Every structure is written in C-alpha cells, then in structure tokens.
A and B are shown apart, each in its own frame.
Chain A
Amino acid sequence: MSPISLLSMVLQGESVAEETVGHGSDDQEFTRFVKEVEPRLSHALAASYGPEVGAEATADALAWAWEHWDRLVGMKHPLGYLYRVGQSNARRYFRPTKLFPAVSPESVDPTLPVLLEGLSRNQRVATVLIHALDYSEREVAELVGISRWSVRTHAERGLARLRKALEVTADA
C-alpha cells in the first residue's frame, strides 16, 4: 500500500488496522528519510532562496517525495533530485525583497544577511553547508549537481568575501 492510498483512507476515517498490518514500513521509512535529508535540504534551499521561500520549497519537495515514494527509493541521489524539485517550486513563489531577514542574536554581525545576498547562489549554498554545517564537498556536490572542484571554489570564494567584508581574519 502506498503512502498516498494509506493517507486517503485515514482521511476518510476508514479503519485501516487490518490493512496496515505489515505495511507500515513505508511510513516509517519516510519518517527516517525526512530526518536524514531534511537538514541538508532545508539549509541548502534556505541558503539559495532565503529562509522564507526555502522553507516552503523544502516542504514542497518533501511532499513530492511522499507522493512519489516508490519512484524516489530507486534513485541514486534522491537528495539531489529533491533539491531540484525544491528549486522548481521555489521559482513559483514571490520572493521577499530581502532574502535574508535581520536576526537578534548578538553573536551574528547585523550586516551578515546583506552580505549573504551579495554572494552567488552556489557560493551561498557551498559556504553555508561546508563551513557552517560541516558537510563534505562530496555531499554538497551531489546535492547541487556540480563538481567537487566547483564546490570547493564556491565555498572558498564565498567565505573569503564574507571574511573580507566582516574584517574577520582566518585566525579569529
């Protein structure tokens, strides 16, 4: 039984106890899958399109995964595919005039959101995922769909630009 048919039965208030015996693995697998991929996906899409649109795009991409679960489990790089799905959905939303909102934590320089908008999309994604969230270059390359060399270049240039603008040295 697919997650969709299961869900529709639940929504219709039908008793599915007998039906779900031995078939709850899809649901559990999906939950595990979301826990595993959601952090990278949401951070990458937030870095690409800002947290507002990124959250909607992440939810859209994971909703697509839920609806096409059978198709997704056979993919070699499902996360990269979902990133594409999220990108496609993100383009359908109106974008805020400011992609990155100001935040209150004192540990963050107030100009950081503005500086992030000055980076290219790939630079933002690579810099955030590699330098802030400690993902490997290979993971980011698979996610974004570019070579590891390009990911490294984007991450280094993005970080260098942020450091220069914030006047923070590598030793700080």
Chain B
Amino acid sequence: MLDVERQLRDYFEEVVERVTAEDVRVRVSTERGVRLPERRLRLRPLAAGAIGFGLAMTLLGIVVVTDRLFGAEAGDATSGPGSLMSPEGGATPWIVIPVAVGLVLLIFGTIFVRRTRNASQQGGTDMQTMERDPLAAPIDNETGVLQRRNRVLGWLTVFLAVAVVGLGLWLAAEVTSSSTELAPTAEVEQLLTDYQEAWANADSNAYLALLTDNFVLETSRFGRFTGPEQVAAWVPARQGLEQLGGYSMIGTGPWYVTVASHHDSVPFPGFSEGVDSVSVFKIVDQGGTLKVAYHKSFGPAFG
C-alpha cells in the first residue's frame, strides 16, 4: 500500500469536485435569474402552530389592553388586586407581553412560510457533478442540488425557550415580591403620617381631606362610623400620639397597612396615663390621589 500522503492525494483527486469560473457564472445566473415554476404553498405544522398561537396571543393581548385602557371608568375603584379587569393603575407594562409574544410568533411563522415557499422556487441547473454513490444527504429532486438546512425552526425554538424561561422568572419574581413586600412606599407612609398628625391635632378639615367618600372608621368599643359626616362628629380632642415601630404593608393597590401607636391621654375612665393601640388601614388610589378608605383600631381602650 502507498504512503499516507499519496493515498490522501489520490483520494481527494478522486472525490473533490472542481469548480470553474463558468460553473460560478451559471450558478449565479440560475440561482438569481431563473426561477422554477411556483409550487403550491405548503404550510408546515410548526409554522401553522406558530401563526395560530401568535394570532391567539395577539388577539388576547389586544382585548386585555383595550379593556385596561378604555374599560377603566366602568370599574369599581376599590376592587381587589390581581383582576385583569381592574382599572386601577391603568394599563400596566406587563400586559404588553402577550401582544409582543404574539406578534413575534406571528412574524416568525410568516417568515418561515415565506422561506419555505421561496426555497421551493429557487434552484435550476447547477454545475456538472461527478457520478458517485448516493449519500444520505437529502437532495432536491427538481434541482439536483443538496437541500439547504432551514435554521428558522432552531432559532424559533431558542427564542421560545428564552421567552418561556423569561416569563417564568418574571412571574416568580412578581409573586415573591408581592408576597414579601412589607415596607410601605413613601407615598403611603406620608399619607398615614398626615392622617395620624391630623388625628392627634384634632384637625377635622385636614383629617377629612385624607378620607374617601365612603370611609369607614371602626372600633369594637365605639362602633362603626361611615362617611365623612359621621366621622367628623367623632374626631376626638387633641391628644399626644406616638408611633411605635414602623409600618407593615401588603398589597399593590389597595394597600393594607398596620401600625402600633401610643396615645398619651384618652378621655376614657381608667386610661388617664395613656394607652397603646394597633390600627389597620386600607389605602386606595382615588383619581390618582391616595386616600384612607378604612381604619380600625384595636387595643385595651378600643376593644
């Protein structure tokens, strides 16, 4: 047997197809200039799925966004969090995600179908090839050339995987942050500070300005007061009020806040030296301004 170098030379001289300048010109002209008769458009299952899913997501996103943008006035201003139909806060950015995902899938599906159709149109006479045993690579019967690998599916899979992982991470972060958020925002904290100051100073006007129209003040000992008129009549006399510790808050609107306070003096028998209490507040966004919708006090003096 010959040496390896000679064997390699003989082998590659045997199998390598040579390309001439004329081959190149023919290739350019056939691929760019001459098109085969158009085949009937075939919709691949994955492309059909992508288009269908994209359309569904787009329509769903449009419906949700439309409802958010134009259905706000018909809703209840104090409805709970988490409802897609809730008008509070208007259209939040994450709502755009279904629309974006749908549109991207739609575009990918459309491109894939176009590429499939274009690929079926291209081809023509290729350079002369040598006779040889058929290999296992797919060959286009009409053009006689190797079929090109379509990478759109691969990229689409990567994109979908990234999108799914991203959405999962976002959802996880959303759930985690909403369940562990205990510190009040600066705006809510300022509202409650103003509220307690007005209460301590017995400043009825300032106090009532912080309340919603259907505000409820409730204690077990003195009962339930609804609306500004009832509450205004009950605002107590001036008293020293000291906050004990910080605020604790849950929710993303409405916000539910608890705080402990010490009252220097209360006009109740047996509590002349002061008393501690715990208050629960419900804060809502009313027309862009935070207001106190509910206040309930617990403690030895309030029941």
B62 in the interface (beta carbon within 8 A): no
Taking a contact as CB atoms under 8 Å apart, the answer to whether B12 and A97 are in contact is no
Taking a contact as CB atoms under 8 Å apart, the answer to whether A91 and B149 are in contact is yes
Question: What chain B residues lie within 8 Å of A67 (beta carbons)?
Answer: 28
- Determine the distance from Cα of A91 to Cα of B135 in the docked complex, in whole angstroms: 17
Q: B residues touching A (Cβ–Cβ < 8 Å)? A: 1-12, 14-21, 23-25, 27-29, 31, 33, 126-127, 129, 132-133, 135-138, 145-149, 151
Taking a contact as CB atoms under 8 Å apart, the answer to whether B11 and A112 are in contact is yes
Question: What chain A residues lie within 8 Å of B148 (beta carbons)?
Answer: 92-94
Question: What chain A residues lie within 8 Å of B5 (beta carbons)?
Answer: 131-132, 159
Taking a contact as CB atoms under 8 Å apart, the answer to whether B25 and A66 are in contact is yes
Binds B, one of A14-22, A34-42, A143-151: A34-42
A78 in the interface (beta carbon within 8 A): no
A75 in the interface (beta carbon within 8 A): no
Which residue on A lies nearest to B7, using beta carbons?
Answer: A108
Which residue on B lies nearest to A34, using beta carbons?
Answer: B21
A102 in the interface (beta carbon within 8 A): yes
Which range contains the number of A residues in contact with the other chain? Answer: 35 or more
Which residue on B lies nearest to A28, using beta carbons?
Answer: B21
- Determine the distance from Cα of A43 to Cα of B18 in the docked complex, in whole angstroms: 9
Question: What chain B residues lie within 8 Å of A43 (beta carbons)?
Answer: 12, 16
Interface centre among B3, B4, B17, B20 (most CB of A within 10 A): B4
Contacting B18 at CB < 8 Å: which of A11, A42, A95?
A42
A141 in the interface (beta carbon within 8 A): no
Question: What chain B residues lie within 8 Å of A8 (beta carbons)?
Answer: 33
Taking a contact as CB atoms under 8 Å apart, the answer to whether A131 and B8 are in contact is yes
- Determine the distance from Cα of A105 to Cα of B87 in the docked complex, in whole angstroms: 80
Contacting A101 at CB < 8 Å: which of B23, B28, B133?
B133
A73 in the interface (beta carbon within 8 A): no
Taking a contact as CB atoms under 8 Å apart, the answer to whether B28 and A7 are in contact is yes
Taking a contact as CB atoms under 8 Å apart, the answer to whether A51 and B17 are in contact is yes
